[in-house]
């Protein structure tokens, strides 16, 4: 990467301040933002809340010949000074990796809930249209190519810009043509996707979340960050049913022509697509779409679909994926097949038992998702007794505790309060806080700290028509306790052991 090209790019974005490089003809052999990964003749980027000048010194020891930063650290190698180092890192990464986004059709999902589900559904549809050519960056998993070794667990919902563009480069080199990815609000807060234009950006929904230390200072900032996806997408898809729809639609209109903005919703005659829910079972759901648009690409979408994850909210997610897949070139047949055959780890996974009802394992871990989940079950299956097993995370999202109680009061009959990533807090104290907001005339509550025991009691006490919801951890195989990921078998494994044990007893 040539210094003069980098400086020109930074100037184009009004980020460049000055440099102490003797010549701008330097060719950097590498780029790094972590000193442990710095190498010979490289450029090192100084950024981060916990940045220390020691990291810069160690990057220099590892071979860095210059650094990019917001201030001069007075070390022995020259600096390129910028006004905003996170934005500069994103641009430098794009230049260093040869702007890989230009060789990909990039689809980005944002929303408080449904990003992972929609990303999986879209990937499964488009993998039929473009076999072995669809990359995916989700909270759970990354896919950067067709081989088994091209798949690995994710660290963040949206990776740091350097890592993001690095993986995009690898995806392109592995022959990928499409990328489906999640765009967390933090991605915009921390400029991880600065300078990236999405071919399609989808805004699924918004409810208060991720507000607090290390996250957003307030809801306005959370919404502002998420809306940036609309301003950075060539085509926008927006859920017309969601709160703040008017603001999000207005943001989309700032940079996208109305004919490239698509909306969807239940019984929304003003939306591009309206959804009619036709049948919901415990394991999947059917819905139909009506098209209210003259756009030739959309006419065929007016048909019926079966999505293999239950819940009316998943009909909504599925409709967003239908629109996004269509813009990427998928046929209706691919959509129908893809939607009917997708399973998403820890999202509405169901297990049936002989005598203890149906068990749901779901990642719902705030009021919005718990409310959507329990209200769906309550409305669709009004005569079934609903038992929920849940906790609430420690060290963050304290307002979730009251939110969980509210959803339980509205829709559940029994709750087993237990441990869910307590961090540095006492899980029993967290459970008691949730309990303090529960209406005991409506919900019977038992606090059982060990999650395995809570699941055992919930399933064992359920009878045949009951619905038992194991909420919050999905397929997580750990509990975050005192800063350590402590091994935990995972809810599906524990539930299966309980079911097997109960079957032996019967």
Ligand X SMILES: Nc1ncnc2c1ncn2[C@@H]1O[C@H](COP(=O)(O)OP(=O)(O)OP(=O)(O)O)[C@@H](O)[C@H]1O
Ligand Y SMILES: CC(=O)N[C@H]1[C@@H](OP(=O)(O)OP(=O)(O)OC[C@H]2O[C@@H](n3ccc(=O)[nH]c3=O)[C@H](O)[C@@H]2O)O[C@H](CO)[C@@H](O)[C@@H]1O[C@H](C)C(=O)N[C@@H](C)C(=O)N[C@H](CCC(=O)O)C(=O)O
Report what 438 binds from ligand X, ligand Y, none; CB cut-off 5-8 Å by kind. Answer: none
158 binds ligand Y (CB under 6 A): yes
Q: How far is the CB of 34 from ligand Y (least distance, A)?
A: 4
Residue 299 is given by DSSP the state G
Rounded to an integer, what distance in angstroms lies between the CA atom of residue 153 and that of residue 361? Answer: 20
Structure tokens at 153: 């667990």
Q: What 3-state DSSP class applies to 193?
A: coil
Considering CB under 6 A, how many residues would be counted as binding ligand Y? Answer: 21
Q: How far is the CB of 155 from ligand Y (least distance, A)?
A: 7
Say if residue 35 carries a ligand binding annotation: yes
Question: Cβ distance 372 to 480 under 8 Å?
Answer: no
26 or 468: CB nearest ligand X: 468
Which residue do the tokens 């009251």 mark?
402
Question: Cβ distance 231 to 201 under 8 Å?
Answer: no
51 binds ligand Y (CB under 6 A): yes
What stretch of H or E contains 273? Answer: strand 273-280
* Residue whose Cβ sits closest to ligand Y: 48
216 binds ligand X (CB under 6 A): no
109 or 165: CB nearest ligand X: 109
Considering CB under 6 A, how many residues would be counted as binding ligand X? Answer: 20
363 binds ligand X (CB under 6 A): yes
Q: Which stretch in 117-125, 157-165, 286-294, 487-495 sits in contact with ligand Y by CB under 6 A?
A: 157-165
Q: How far is the CB of 484 from ligand Y (least distance, A)?
A: 15
317 binds ligand X (CB under 6 A): yes
Q: Which stretch in 38-46, 165-173, 193-201, 358-366 sits in contact with ligand X by CB under 6 A?
A: 358-366
Question: Cβ distance 161 to 101 under 8 Å?
Answer: no
225 binds ligand Y (CB under 6 A): no
CA atoms within 13 A on the CB side of 260: 19
87 or 400: CB nearest ligand X: 400
* Closest of 236, 241, 238 to residue 259, by C-alpha: 236
Report what 34 binds from ligand Y, ligand X, none; CB cut-off 5-8 Å by kind. Answer: ligand Y
Task: Provide the strand spans (E) within 24-133.
Answer: 30-32, 42-45, 64-69, 79-82, 105-110
User: For residues 444, 449, 453 and 456, what is the CA-based torsion angle, rounded to 10 degrees?
Assistant: 30
* Closest of 487, 447, 454 to residue 471, by C-alpha: 454
What stretch of H or E contains 339? Answer: helix 332-340
113 binds ligand X (CB under 6 A): yes
Q: Which stretch in 113-121, 126-134, 333-341, 399-407 sits in contact with ligand X by CB under 6 A?
A: 113-121
Residue 406 burial (CB count, 10 A) = 16
Rounded to an integer, what distance in angstroms lies between the CA atom of residue 78 and that of residue 42? Answer: 12
Scan residues 1-40 and list those touching ligand Y (CB under 6 A): 33-36
Residues making up the annotated binding site for ATP are 111-117
Which residues make up the interface to ligand Y (CB under 6 A)? 33-36, 47-51, 55, 156-158, 160, 184, 186-187, 190, 210, 214-215
**What does the binding site for ligand X look like in residue numbers (CB under 6 A)?**
111, 113-117, 139, 204-205, 313, 316-317, 347, 362-364, 368-369, 372-373
Residues belonging to the binding site are: 35, 111-117, 157-158, 192
């Amino acid at each position: 990467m040539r210094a003069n090209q980098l400086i020109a790019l930074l100037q184009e974005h009004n980020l460049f301040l000055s440099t102490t490089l003797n010549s701008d003809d330097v060719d950097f052999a590498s780029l790094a933002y972590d000193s442990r990964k710095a190498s010979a003749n490289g450029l090192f980027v100084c950024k981060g809340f916990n940045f220390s000048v020691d990291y810069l010194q160690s990057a220099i020891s590892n071979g860095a010949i210059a650094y990019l930063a917001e201030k001069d650290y007075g070390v022995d190698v020259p600096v390129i000074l910028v006004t905003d180092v996170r934005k500069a890192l994103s641009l430098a990464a794009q230049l260093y990796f040869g702007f890989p986004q230009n060789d990909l059709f990039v689809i980005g999902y944002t929303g408080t809930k449904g990003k992972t589900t929609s990303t999986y559904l879209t990937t499964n549809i488009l993998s039929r249209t473009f076999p072995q050519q669809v990359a995916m960056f989700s909270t759970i998993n990354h896919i950067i190519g067709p081989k088994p070794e091209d798949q690995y667990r994710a660290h963040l919902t949206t990776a740091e810009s350097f890592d993001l563009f690095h993986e995009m480069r690898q995806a392109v080199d592995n022959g990928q043509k499409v990328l489906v990815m999640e765009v967390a609000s933090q991605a915009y807060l921390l400029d991880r996707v600065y300078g990236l234009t999405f071919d399609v950006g989808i805004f699924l929904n918004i409810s208060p979340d991720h507000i607090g230390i290390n996250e957003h200072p307030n809801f306005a900032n959370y919404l502002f960050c998420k809306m940036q996806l609309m301003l950075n997408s060539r085509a926008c898809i927006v859920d017309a049913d969601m709160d703040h729809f008017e603001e999000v639609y207005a943001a989309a209109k700032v940079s996208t022509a109305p004919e490239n903005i698509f909306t969807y919703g239940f019984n929304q005659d003003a939306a591009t697509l309206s959804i009619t829910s036709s049948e919901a079972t415990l394991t999947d759901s059917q819905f139909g779409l009506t098209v209210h648009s003259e756009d030739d690409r959309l006419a065929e979408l007016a048909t019926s679909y079966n999505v293999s994850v239950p819940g009316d909210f998943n009909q909504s997610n599925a409709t967003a994926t239908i629109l996004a897949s269509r813009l990427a070139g998928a046929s209706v047949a691919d959509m129908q097949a893809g939607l009917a055959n997708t399973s998403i780890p820890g999202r509405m996974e169901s297990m049936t038992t002989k005598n203890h009802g149906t068990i749901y394992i779901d990642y719902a871990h705030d009021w919005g998702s718990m409310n959507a989940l329990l209200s769906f079950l309550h409305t669709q299956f009004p005569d079934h007794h609903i038992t929920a097993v849940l906790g609430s995370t420690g060290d963050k999202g304290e307002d979730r505790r009251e939110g969980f109680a509210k959803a339980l009061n509205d829709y559940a009959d029994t709750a087993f309060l237990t441990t869910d990533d307590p961090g540095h807090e006492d899980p029993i104290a967290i459970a008691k806080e949730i309990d303090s907001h529960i209406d005991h005339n409506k919900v019977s509550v038992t606090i059982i700290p060990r999650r395995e025991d809570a699941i055992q009691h919930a399933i064992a006490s359920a009878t045949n028509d009951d619905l038992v919801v194991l909420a919050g951890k999905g397929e997580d195989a750990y509990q975050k306790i005192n800063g350590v990921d402590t091994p935990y078998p995972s809810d599906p494994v524990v539930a299966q052991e309980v079911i097997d044990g109960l079957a032996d007893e019967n």
